[in-house]
Amino acid sequence: MSSSFCLTPQTYHVLTDGVRRDPEEFWLKEGHRRLVWSREPTRAMDQEKGWFADGTLNASANCLDRHLPEHGEKTAIIWQGEEADHVIRLTYRELHARVCAFANVLRDCGVKRGDRVAIHLPCVIEGIIAMQACARIGAMHVVLFGGFSAEAIADRVADSGAVVVVTANVGRRGAKRIPYKTTMDAALRLLGDKSTVRHVLVVGVTEDEVPLEAGRDALLEPLLRAASMDCAPEAMNATDPLFLLYTSGSTGKPKGIVHGTGGYLTWASFTHQLVFDHQPSDIFWCTADIGWITGHSYVAYGPLANGATILLFEGMPSHPTPGRWWEVIAKHGVTTFYTSPTAIRALMSEGDEIPGRYDLSSLRVLGSVGEPINHEAWTWFHEVIGGGRCPVVDTWWQTETGGAMISLVPGAVEARPASATLPLPGVNPVLLDEKGQPLEGAAEGILCIDGSWPGCALTIWNDDALFQTTYFKPYPGHYFTGDGARRDEDGYFWITGRVDDVINVSGHRIGSAEIEDAISEIHDISESAAVGIPHDLKGQGLIVYIVPHEGLDKAVTAGLKDQVVRIIGTKVGRYAVPEKVFVVPDLPKTRSGKNVRRLMRKIACGETEGFGDLSTLANPAIVPELIRIVGEG
């Protein structure tokens, strides 16, 4: 193993040993040394009150102000636009000034501590600035993924009770314009009088003009120019929420996962440093959208808390030419590159010759997140992109965990291809069988986590009971991740995918219930089921079965597939549109009326036998019927 990394197996052992021996002392020390506090916490974990409960701090002061005395002139953000010469660099001092101005604009809009601010932006620096500005004044940000439909945005804005929305006139994709403001207008129209939104602030990404509603909408730029660049950070309790972020589960509507301030930030900083072997000269590029947790922890918070230089790229991996990402890495000397298996597989399919045209020698550490990475993609990433010399950190974690949980640590842990390797210090994963019994040694089972860790979510917004039932009730005494995993005799983990009804398409978490809810709006359909099946590029593909009402005429039935695609695009977003829709007379059910998804999944994969005992089904005859329909395509 190379000795150029911060940690060695020996120093890492000291760390893991320390946390095992005395977690309270370990985390209190980490909290103190990683963050600046307005009141230092005297305890790390309190079962009742949470992490660092008697400490106070501000997340934005931790990401910005603290770096100013010694590193104010260091580049915080390099933003690369789609056009080669479209580059913006901000030092920590400049970023701080912009965040303060933005925070004052929010205050002028009446935003107070504890209020929610929704952010719906393309990849522009204002996304990070807006998040930091919210944190500065103690408002919670609610970042909404750019690909959400108006209805999906409306649901989330309503649930969060956001008082201000930050959006853009448009997003850019080559010559194409993505209508951010128009989508937001449609979302707010859907909410009508029930909308809690008082102001809409519009970032002018281009010169394109968009309609502004008097009294509600304003262009941001003139407000920022007029705003003061002084804004004292609000001292927050460590357990005050920093943000809420919506994610999908196996049942019901997407839930607003709430993260706290002190614990979350400690975890983001700790894991960013360990997992990516952070060194001050690094140029850190995480390709995730800020609309997802990866963009929160490894674009916005972890790297900035650690004083890193981050790269933001507005464009696509292979647009306008294949190799665009590699060109960006070579141009900016990126050292640390963190992306998804879906992107790796897509880039791999273009061949080795394309990355071979670029000088990728600046790379030190490569990372993967969001879905299981297959052996072939891992090896290609390691060999072709990393030249065999860069560790590939496959980081397993979730929106709820706040930061990486199981991951390779460069220099300290020996890699195994396609394995997330070992739990990070302070993380105690267990594998359970279906009855909830712990499995020892080499085994495959349901992945749960024991005990707490600083990055653990606080709750679900507006629904703590759901938080408890979703994560702590399925296997009492353990946090239920929803994933399955295999562990080898040396304790290395391989994540096998979701064991619940969450479908992971290109790293986007989609709840089968979300899809089925959307389809239930189509009157001619009596029932539907969404399942995930393996997909070469996307990891999983979404397949939908629909059951039309009896007696529909042929023409209506023929139009149902298109309706399904349309309604999913409208209610959820284009990213959730299924690969295939099968029109079937019924769904396989147990005698108690539950859909048997396991069977539907297997049949959608093209399997025709080996389904086990079908006599327990209420309608076994439907099985050959489904096989026939799927077989016909």
Helix residue ranges, H only, 461-534: 464-471, 512-519
Q: Which is nearer to ligand PRX, 446 or 630 (CB)?
A: 446
556-565's contacts with Cβ under 8 Å and 24+ in sequence apart are 556/524, 557/524, 557/583, 560/522, 560/524, 560/525, 563/522, 563/524, 564/519, 564/522, 564/525, 564/528
Q: How far apart are CA 210 and CA 178, in angstroms?
A: 12
Residue among 19, 157, 293, 310 that touches ligand PRX (CB under 6 A): 293
Q: Which of residues 382-401 bind ligand PRX (CB under 6 A)?
A: 394-399
CB of 164 to ligand PRX, least distance (A): 25
Tell whether residue 420 is a contact of ligand PRX (CB under 6 A).
yes
Asked whether 302 and 272 are in contact (CB, 8 A), the reply is: yes
Residue among 369, 525, 531, 599 that touches ligand PRX (CB under 6 A): 369
CB of 124 to ligand PRX, least distance (A): 22
Q: Which is nearer to ligand PRX, 496 or 557 (CB)?
A: 496
Q: Which is nearer to ligand PRX, 499 or 596 (CB)?
A: 499
Q: How far apart are CA 515 and CA 251, in angstroms?
A: 11
Q: What are phi and psi of 528, to 5 degrees?
A: -150, 165
What is the number of residues in the chain? Answer: 633
Tell whether residue 504 is a contact of ligand PRX (CB under 6 A).
yes
Burial class of residue 248 in the structure, from the number of CB atoms within 10 Å of its CB (0-12 exposed, 13-18 middle, 19+ buried): buried
CB of 498 to ligand PRX, least distance (A): 5
CB of 394 to ligand PRX, least distance (A): 5
Q: Which is nearer to ligand PRX, 260 or 367 (CB)?
A: 367
**Cα four-point dihedral sign 264, 339, 335, 316:** negative
Q: Which is nearer to ligand PRX, 168 or 495 (CB)?
A: 495
Point out which span in 21-29, 52-60, 365-373, 571-579 binds ligand PRX (CB under 6 A): 365-373
Tell whether residue 495 is a contact of ligand PRX (CB under 6 A).
yes
> How many other C-beta atoms are found inside a 10 Å radius of the C-beta of residue 420?
26
Helix (H) or strand (E) holding 168: strand 164-168
CB of 445 to ligand PRX, least distance (A): 15
Q: Which is nearer to ligand PRX, 160 or 294 (CB)?
A: 294
CB of 122 to ligand PRX, least distance (A): 20
Query: β-strands 116-120, 164-168: how paired?
Result: parallel
Residue among 303, 370, 410, 511 that touches ligand PRX (CB under 6 A): 370
Tell whether residue 371 is a contact of ligand PRX (CB under 6 A).
yes
Residue among 116, 487, 498, 602 that touches ligand PRX (CB under 6 A): 498
Point out which span in 74-82, 302-310, 368-376, 616-624 binds ligand PRX (CB under 6 A): 368-376
CB of 471 to ligand PRX, least distance (A): 12
Q: Which is nearer to ligand PRX, 113 or 375 (CB)?
A: 375
Burial class of residue 391 in the structure, from the number of CB atoms within 10 Å of its CB (0-12 exposed, 13-18 middle, 19+ buried): buried
Residue bearing tokens 């800020």: 290
Q: Which is nearer to ligand PRX, 431 or 622 (CB)?
A: 431
Residue among 171, 254, 372, 511 that touches ligand PRX (CB under 6 A): 372
Q: How far apart are CA 427 and CA 247, in angstroms?
A: 22
Q: Binding-site residue total for ligand PRX (CB under 6 A)?
A: 22
Point out which span in 11-19, 121-129, 292-300, 589-597 binds ligand PRX (CB under 6 A): 292-300
What lies within 8 Å, CB to CB, of 548 at 6+ separation is 524, 525, 526, 556, 557, 560, 583
Asked whether 616 and 556 are in contact (CB, 8 A), the reply is: no
Point out which span in 16-24, 51-59, 190-198, 290-298 binds ligand PRX (CB under 6 A): 290-298
Q: Which is nearer to ligand PRX, 126 or 483 (CB)?
A: 483
What lies within 8 Å, CB to CB, of 137 at 6+ separation is 103, 106, 107, 111, 112, 113, 231, 234
Q: Which is nearer to ligand PRX, 200 or 430 (CB)?
A: 430
What lies within 8 Å, CB to CB, of 419 at 6+ separation is 394, 488, 492, 493, 494
Q: Which is nearer to ligand PRX, 122 or 482 (CB)?
A: 482
Amino acid at 257: I
298-303's contacts with Cβ under 8 Å and 24+ in sequence apart are 298/268, 298/272, 298/338, 298/403, 299/128, 300/63, 300/128, 300/131, 300/132, 301/59, 301/63, 301/264, 301/265, 301/268, 301/269, 302/268, 302/269, 302/271, 302/272, 302/273, 302/403, 303/272, 303/278
CB of 341 to ligand PRX, least distance (A): 8
CB of 386 to ligand PRX, least distance (A): 17
CB of 539 to ligand PRX, least distance (A): 9
Q: Which is nearer to ligand PRX, 31 or 341 (CB)?
A: 341
Burial class of residue 474 in the structure, from the number of CB atoms within 10 Å of its CB (0-12 exposed, 13-18 middle, 19+ buried): middle
CB of 293 to ligand PRX, least distance (A): 5
Q: Which is nearer to ligand PRX, 275 or 584 (CB)?
A: 275
Nearest 5 degrees, angle CA 605-CA 606-CA 612?
Answer: 85
Tell whether residue 483 is a contact of ligand PRX (CB under 6 A).
yes
Residue bearing tokens 């059910």: 589
Nearest 5 degrees, angle CA 166-CA 168-CA 169?
Answer: 135
Residue bearing tokens 């052996």: 375
Site string for ligand PRX, 218-247 (x = CB under 6 A): -----------------------------x
Point out which span in 47-55, 119-127, 153-161, 288-296 binds ligand PRX (CB under 6 A): 288-296
Q: Which is nearer to ligand PRX, 195 or 506 (CB)?
A: 506
Q: Return residues touching ligand PRX (CB under 6 A).
A: 247, 292-294, 369-372, 394-399, 420, 481-483, 495, 498, 504, 509
